[in-house]
A and B are shown apart, each in its own frame.
Chain A
């Protein structure tokens, strides 16, 4: 149990293109999902917390107008990178929160590697 999928796994696009990434919890419902970004040889950087039915909570320094998050259902959250630029190239990873054994645990999707030319 606790499987999280992401689509697409890899995107290569031109500068100025908007890119949409989907995150799905396949065998459980997730009220809360998280979006992370990871640059090479660096740790995970939390971008935002996505809550079903409400607005996402963004971390300091993350532009909410550039990284649009929609958590439309208990199994799907989407991240749209608006007008992507080369500096947005990164590994984007989502996670979904599941309460197991009285502990909220994050389960990660496989990640989406975005390359902006």
Chain B
């Protein structure tokens, strides 16, 4: 079992819709979780991090964490074509290493 899993996609949503990206992790002792966006040919850029159960909002982005279910999600409201990218979920494990998921490719259709 991979430590951090994501659907590879591609996930396609129409412009203006809500994009929902999901991530699960296997190490129950993981404490911090991160969402990065990576455009093709570029390096990842941090969107947000979360470490408490519940929701955390930042502009059009909302991260959700459910430690009991070992599940993290990222919602993008009012999706724009410029949001089309690969989204990487990462977890800081109980042994202090950050593990990245394989990424989900998002395509926002104008």
Secondary structure type dominating chain A contacts: strand
Given A44-B100, A46-B100, A110-B43, list of 10 further CB < 8 A pairs?
Answer: A42-B102, A43-B100, A43-B103, A91-B41, A103-B32, A107-B46, A108-B43, A108-B45, A109-B43, A113-B41
Size band of the interface chain A makes with B: 10 to 19
Most-contacted residue by chain A among B32, B44, B88 (CB, 10 A): B44
Chain B, interface SS category:
strand
Given contact pairs A43-B103, A110-B43, A103 touches B49 in the complex (Cβ within 8 A): yes
- Asked if A18 is an interface residue, CB under 8 A from chain B, the answer is no
For residue A93, CB closer than 8 A to chain B, the reply is yes
B contact residues around A104 at 8 Å (CB): 32, 92
Give complex CA distance A73, B87 in Å.
32
Q: In the bound complex, what is the Cα–Cα distance between A109 and B43 (angstroms)?
A: 7
Candidates B42, B98, B102, B103; contact of A106 at CB < 8 Å: B98
Residues 26-48 of chain B: 1 if any A CB is under 8 Å from the residue's CB, otherwise 0?
00000010101000011111100
Alpha-carbon gap, A43 to B51, bound state (A) = 23
Known A43-B101, A44-B88; judge A105-B46 contact (CB<8 A): yes
Give complex CA distance A91, B41 in Å: 8
Q: Which of A42, A91, A105, A109 has the most CB of B within 10 A?
A: A105
List of B residues within 8 angstroms of A93 by Cβ: 43-44
Q: Type the 1/0 row for A89-105, where 1 means its CB is closer than 8 Å to any CB of B.
A: 00101000000000111
**Residues in chain A near residue B36, CB distance under 8 A:** 108
